[in-house]
Amino acid sequence: MEKIARINMGAAGGPEVTVTEVGEYAGLGGRAMTSIIIATEVHPLAHPLGAENKLVIAPGMLSGTAGAMTGRLSVGCKSPLTGTIKESNAGGQAAQVMARLGYAAVILEGKPTTDDLYKIHINKDGITITVDNSLRLMDNYPVIAKLRGEYGDKVAYMTIGSAGERKLLTASIACTDPELRPTRHCGRGGVGAVMGAKGIKAIILDDAGLKMRPPKDPERYRDANRKFVEGLRKHPVTGEGLPAYGTNILTNILNEAGGYPTRNFKSGVYEGGSKLSGEAQAELEIKRGGKATHGCHRGCVIQCSGIYNDAQGNYVTKQPEYETVWSHGGHCGIDDLDTVARLDYLDDNIGVDTIDMGVAIGVAMDAGVIPFGDKEGAIRLVEEVGKGTPLGRILGCGAAITGKVFGVERVPVVKDQALPAYDPRPIQGIGVTYATTTQGADHTAGYAIATNILKVGGDVDPLKTEGQVELSRNLQIATAAIDSTGMCLFIAFAIMDQPETFQALLDMLGSFYGITMTGDDVVALGKKVLSAERDFNKRAGFTAAHDRLPRFFYTEAIEPHNQVFGITDEELDSVFNW
């Protein structure tokens, strides 16, 4: 990955492509590449949907290689949802293909002066940009069906649905999976709205005629990759739980722990949780001829995805993730997997973040727009988003906007991004991450659930405040580094518990680039990324006062533990004191 492509959508005479060497960004990948480019090149006070913002698309440091788990793609910008710097990543095929094409980053700049829609085709011969207004306001599944007729089945696609064109604040960017379904989404922060503001409907990535990226030391790389895969397969989470039941294995676990937010964070236990569980979901998927085990990209050995069919055996959607099952399920008082699957399909097709969409519906339920538990009503509300009605536009701009419009006091957001499926009162560590991450409330930024609940990498009591700041700090540093490699974040379970698996990861990085990598290097990379992101946010006007949870988490105790969030402001302000 020796080059960067810049596509100026606002150039005189139409979009203009410039390809240069990586230059000052050499050695970076994934989140490190997107965040450092945004922090360096975007004015922090730029309007997120304006010409000054940039959308940076970057494969990871190991993407496009024969290494396992290396298929994550990072997309970065100034977020229209949060106003902060943003990195959102997804699986699918795009990262591997872009890396094999030799691009360390594709940077979308400027803004068209017309309302034309464009598609970008990238192959070994270069980059072609064409107008295609026939795609206007089409959603992701029909867009992919149409593009496949033109570009075939041997490519990867990145697209936005109607939500991205309408520049809704929760709009996502869909990446196709190995079966060319638009199911893997850069979901959080409204990155799809930025792509829509640039006038780009689709990016087609074609690596025909190209080979895997070769490591500097092939034999050492193969050996390190083998040991890495062995480590993943022998860990109980990555080798057993996730392949068997997907991420939704967490429903029963979090419900039993009293940390499953129910009916807009009014309780930590949902009486219908067992009906939504990963165990129930996997059984139903297999019974209907779907799959409970499936990889979102080639080279995945964890296989935590799946295929969800209806009662007649027809494809509905990919296996809904835990956070999606929660946001559209327990959060809304809905205990029906078929309803959740339908909502997941609609989210993917329209192109919106499933977390913010589900939380927005729960907030609307709290306002009395529809009652909690109204399955048909929830589907109707998401369909409103797809139609672009006034109500749909409100909901499609997320939970924060929905709460303001309907006058709801309990709105679970940080920096206007909805909290995911873990209540911070009975799981104090995740509350620290929600409050302090540079990205707005985001469980993946520092997944304290691993140690608070799953007891991976140690045991920090989730109900106590002791040790939570250090836990979140270390996880945020490690996560920023993992997000830069192109590796799936789920490798963290194995590398936190198994020193030999962590060493295998270091050896993969070192042998590929012909260097020696140590744990200290990983920490330094994570700190470098976080420092760049925090500096951008500071220049954009964010202060310590923004690194807080909504007030109700400090004042409203919930069952079954009947406690509030107890981390002090002074402790939150110390997270990045390294």
Q: Domains in the chain, ordered, with CATH? A: 3-205 (3.60.9.10), 243-423 (1.10.569.10)
Percent of the chain with pLDDT over 70: 100
Report the sign of the C-alpha dihedral through residues 203, 206, 212, 213, in that order.
negative
Query: Quick one: pLDDT at residue 299?
Result: 86
Contact 351, 161 (CB under 8 A): yes
The mean pLDDT of 193-203, rounded to a whole number, is 98
Read off φ and ψ for residue 58, nearest 5 degrees: -140, 125
Say yes or no to pLDDT of 377 above 80: yes
pLDDT digits (tens, 9 = 90+) for 397-443: 999 999 999 999 999 999 999 999 999 999 999 999 999 999 999 99
The residue written with tokens 């965040």 in the block is: 35
pLDDT digits (tens, 9 = 90+) for 101-155: 999 999 999 999 999 999 999 999 999 999 999 999 999 999 999 999 999 999 9
Query: Quick one: pLDDT at residue 3?
Result: 96
Q: Tell me the residue ranges of DSSP E strands in 295-410.
A: 305-309, 315-318
Q: What is the DSSP letter of 299?
A: T
Q: In what helix (H) or strand (E) does residue 123 lie, and over which residues does it extend?
A: strand 118-123
Say yes or no to pLDDT of 446 above 80: yes
Global pTM reads: 0.96
Give dist(CA 497, CA 502) in Å, integer: 9
Contact 248, 277 (CB under 8 A): yes
Give dist(CA 533, CA 120) in Å, integer: 28
Per the prediction, the chain carries an average pLDDT of 97
Q: In what helix (H) or strand (E) does residue 545 lie, and over which residues does it extend?
A: none
Query: Quick one: pLDDT at residue 33?
Result: 98
Q: DSSP for 28-68, please give it.
A: --HHHHHHHHHHHHS-TTS-TTSTT--EEEEE-TTTTSS-T
Query: Quick one: pLDDT at residue 2?
Result: 87
- Number of helices followed by number of strands (H, E) in the chain: 25, 17
Report the sign of the C-alpha dihedral through residues 91, 94, 97, 98, in that order.
negative
Residue 272, classed as helix, strand or coil, is coil
pLDDT digits (tens, 9 = 90+) for 222-258: 999 999 999 999 999 999 999 999 999 999 999 999 9
Query: Quick one: pLDDT at residue 212?
Result: 95
Residue 24, classed as helix, strand or coil, is helix
Token digits of residue 525: 């990379």
Contact 164, 172 (CB under 8 A): yes
Half-sphere exposure of 481 (CA within 13 A, CB side): 24
Say yes or no to pLDDT of 49 above 80: yes
Contact 329, 338 (CB under 8 A): no
